[in-house]
């Protein structure tokens, strides 16, 4: 059995720890955070340790695996540090999903329960697909995409790196969403979204530029 550490100790980490407990291949070993403030996480039973302490205590080894449990773009910097040091990242995919056998998926991804992911979907690395999402055929999710609960993505949609899609958003077929864009909750995206903007509304319109 592989010991797994979650990167983060917030609410998303709580959900992810429950998904891990349903998988007989992995055992939750603890949580890794950027700073040594374990006292602020009193309700977590497993150890909460700082990144420097983790690196000192657990050099990259075959029996240690990691997965990001930070539900926003901030997970990228800590993940990149650990990738550069050779740590292994796993996928955590809840058993109560329909996942097409034809999908292609990288590593470090979390797929929560109640999702339908259809034929020929490609998912990169370190993506989060939250509960009750539908992703139709031939979609592409690049690295570090975050999809909130209840999102519907129609066929042939390209979602570029670092995109955040809010709860209940809908994306019609053939759309491309540019790097680092933010789709607000409940939006209906009917045309391509440029990089690094926030869109909202029905139909979705650009509201502002974001870093």
Res 71: pLDDT: 73
pLDDT digits (tens, 9 = 90+) for 50-75: 888 888 888 877 678 899 888 777 78
β-strands 48-50, 146-147: how paired?
Answer: unpaired
Domain 93-202 is classified in which CATH homologous superfamily?
Hexapeptide repeat proteins (2.160.10.10)
Alpha helices by DSSP H, the chain: 11-21, 51-57, 75-84
Q: Which CATH class is domain 2-90?
A: alpha beta
Tokens of residue 70, six digits: 């930070």
Residue 103 has pLDDT above 60, yes or no: yes
pLDDT digits (tens, 9 = 90+) for 131-140: 999 999 999 9
DSSP 2-13: EEEEEE--SHHH
Res 59: pLDDT: 81
**Rounded distance, CA 75 to CA 109, Å?**
12
Confidence (pTM): 0.91
What value does the mean pLDDT take over residues 199-211?
95
Span of 9-23, 114-128, 135-149, 168-182 with lowest mean pLDDT: 9-23
Task: Give the confidence band of 174 by pLDDT, cuts at 50, 70, 90.
Answer: very high
Span of 55-59, 157-161, 207-211 with lowest mean pLDDT: 55-59
Each domain of the chain, given as residue ranges in start order, spans 2-90, 93-202
* Cα dihedral across residues 153, 209, 108, 120: positive or negative: positive
Q: Where does residue 51 rank: exposed (0-12), middle (13-18), buried (19+ CB within 10 A)?
A: middle
Res 45: pLDDT: 63
């Amino acid at each position: 059995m592989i010991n797994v550490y979650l990167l983060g100790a917030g609410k998303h980490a709580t959900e992810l720890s429950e998904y891990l407990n349903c998988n007989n291949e992995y055992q939750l070993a603890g949580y890794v955070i950027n700073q040594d403030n374990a006292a602020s996480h009193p309700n977590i039973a497993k150890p909460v340790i700082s990144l420097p302490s983790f690196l000192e205590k657990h050099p990259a080894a075959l029996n240690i695996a990691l997965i990001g449990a930070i539900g926003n773009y901030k997970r990228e910097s800590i993940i990149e540090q650990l990738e550069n040091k050779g740590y292994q990242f796993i996928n955590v995919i809840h058993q109560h999903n329909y996942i097409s056998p034809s999908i292609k998926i990288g590593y470090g991804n979390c797929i929560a329960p109640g999702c339908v992911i259809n034929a020929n979907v490609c998912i990169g690395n370190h993506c989060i697909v939250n509960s009750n999402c539908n992703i139709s055929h031939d979609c592409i999710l690049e690295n570090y995409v975050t999809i909130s609960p209840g999102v519907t993505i129609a066929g042939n949609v390209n979602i570029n790196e670092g995109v955040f899609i809010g709860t209940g958003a809908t994306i019609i077929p053939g759309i491309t969403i540019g790097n680092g864009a933010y789709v607000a909750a409940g939006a209906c995206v009917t045309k391509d979204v440029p990089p690094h903007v926030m869109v909202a509304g029905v139909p979705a319109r650009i509201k502002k530029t974001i870093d």
